[in-house]
């Protein structure tokens, strides 16, 4: 009374099951299963930025628009590039003048009327979110998330300001740079929006903006054990993460980017008080082993926690007290009693240690 499954259907079912379980977590498990891998950090890769000006670093702008009111004020259309699925961020080039309220950006499909359509995502930026050391025009990043962009469709982002009630808009506003009549890589249209008359075409001007896309891929930053070369380990990882048809686990078109983590050395110094009959040289070596074990158990990108270093010293049975414990990243800054930030492409290890007997 049972239906017999043929070989083709069985193979398809197995492949689909492997695709469904291919997550960032499962990628990390695959990488950690390779002999010689000490630690790994896996995260989604960013796609290629696109911009409405030819050279973002050498801006040639002679005009600007002023944002001084509520939703929406301006609307800029744009088209995603090839091989793009996820929007990650849009950056404008502008500045807050005096003390304006927060500025908002919302993204939606480009529809005939500004009043129709639902924003996929919207976000606000406060003037205090920007670098206060930069007094002129600067990057204004809007971190937006949308996972279903279609390169055959046109999208738009709207700009408006938070409503502060009664407010001096003449002396407090956002100024946003425009392309002053020339176009770059993204062909779009800028509209000013009036609540009564709708769109007012400002062509041939674009807002100066940059789109940041998340690509269909992921980064795997790998730290190796002592005695293992990264080159050979990378080959092993790539074989495991190849697309399914070539014997790996990855669905087709999901591109892995595998890089080696930079080793960051942590320098430590302290005054250690031990039992009167204990041998200080032996205690010092065992303390260093404890600290090294703690650091070796950290993953790529994990911060070094000051309190953990303190605990690794104090848990030694011969240590009575500890003073003037200071740590730092080798070749940078000064010693301090603070946690040490480690970036996503770094792995900490023990550098120099200087312990004095108290």
Q: What's the confidence (pLDDT) of residue 65?
A: 85
CA distance readout (Å), 273 to 138, 224, 278, 289, 353: 52, 35, 10, 18, 16
List the domain boundaries for the chain.
6-259, 262-357
Q: How far apart are CA 249 and CA 26, in angstroms?
A: 10
Closest CA to 207 of 64, 99, 342: 64
Q: For every one of its 358 residues, what pLDDT tens digit does the chain have, with 9 covering 90 and above? A: 566 666 666 555 555 555 456 677 888 888 898 999 999 988 765 555 667 776 676 666 567 888 888 767 888 888 776 555 577 889 999 999 999 999 999 988 876 666 667 888 889 999 999 988 888 888 999 988 776 677 677 888 889 999 888 889 899 999 998 876 544 444 467 777 765 556 666 656 778 888 877 655 677 889 999 899 999 999 988 888 775 555 566 665 566 778 899 999 999 999 999 999 999 999 999 999 999 999 999 988 899 999 999 999 999 999 999 999 999 999 888 999 999 999 888 899 999 999 999 8
Instruction: State which H helix or E strand residue 9 sits in.
Output: helix 7-20
In the chain, the largest separation of any two C-alpha atoms, in whole Å, equals 89
Q: Which two tokens stand for residue 345?
A: 């492409």
Exposed, middle or buried: residue 39 (CB in 10 Å: 0-12, 13-18, 19+)? Answer: buried
Mapped onto helix, strand or coil, the DSSP state of residue 258 is strand
Nearest to 150 by CA among 217, 84, 76, 77: 84
């Amino acid at each position: 009374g049972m239906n017999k499954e043929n070989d083709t259907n069985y193979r398809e079912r197995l492949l689909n099951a492997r695709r469904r379980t291919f997550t960032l977590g499962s990628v990390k498990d695959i990488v950690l299963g390779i002999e010689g891998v000490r630690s790994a950090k896996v995260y989604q890769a960013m796609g290629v930025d696109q911009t409405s000006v030819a050279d973002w670093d050498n801006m040639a702008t002679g005009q600007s628009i002023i944002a001084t009111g509520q939703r929406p004020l301006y609307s800029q259309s744009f088209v995603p590039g090839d091989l793009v699925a996820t929007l990650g961020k849009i950056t404008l080039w502008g500045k807050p003048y005096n003390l304006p309220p927060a500025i908002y950006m919302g993204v939606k499909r480009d529809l005939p009327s500004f009043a129709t359509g639902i924003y996929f995502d919207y976000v606000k930026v406060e003037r205090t979110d920007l670098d206060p050391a930069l007094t002129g025009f600067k990057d204004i990043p809007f971190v937006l998330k949308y996972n279903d962009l279609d390169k055959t469709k046109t999208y738009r982002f709207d700009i408006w300001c938070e409503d502060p009630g009664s407010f001096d808009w003449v002396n407090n506003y956002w100024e946003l740079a425009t392309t002053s009549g020339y176009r770059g890589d993204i062909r779009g249209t800028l509209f000013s929006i009036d609540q009564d008359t709708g769109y007012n075409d400002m062509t041939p001007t674009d807002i100066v903006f940059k789109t940041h896309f998340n690509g269909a891929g992921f980064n795997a930053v790998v730290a190796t054990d002592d005695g293992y070369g990264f080159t050979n380990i990378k080959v092993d990882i790539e074989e495991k993460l190849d697309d399914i048809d070539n014997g790996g686990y990855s669905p087709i078109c999901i591109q892995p980017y595998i890089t080696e983590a930079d080793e960051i050395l942590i320098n430590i110094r302290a005054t250690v008080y031990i039992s009167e009959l204990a041998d200080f040289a032996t205690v010092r070596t065992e303390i260093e082993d404890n600290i090294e074990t703690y650091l070796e158990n950290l993953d790529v990108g994990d911060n070094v926690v000051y309190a953990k270093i303190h605990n690794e010293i104090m848990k030694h049975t011969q240590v009575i007290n500890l003073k003037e414990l200071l740590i730092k990243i080798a070749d940078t800054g000064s010693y301090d009693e603070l946690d040490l930030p480690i970036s996503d492409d770094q792995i900490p290890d023990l550098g120099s240690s200087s312990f004095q007997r108290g």
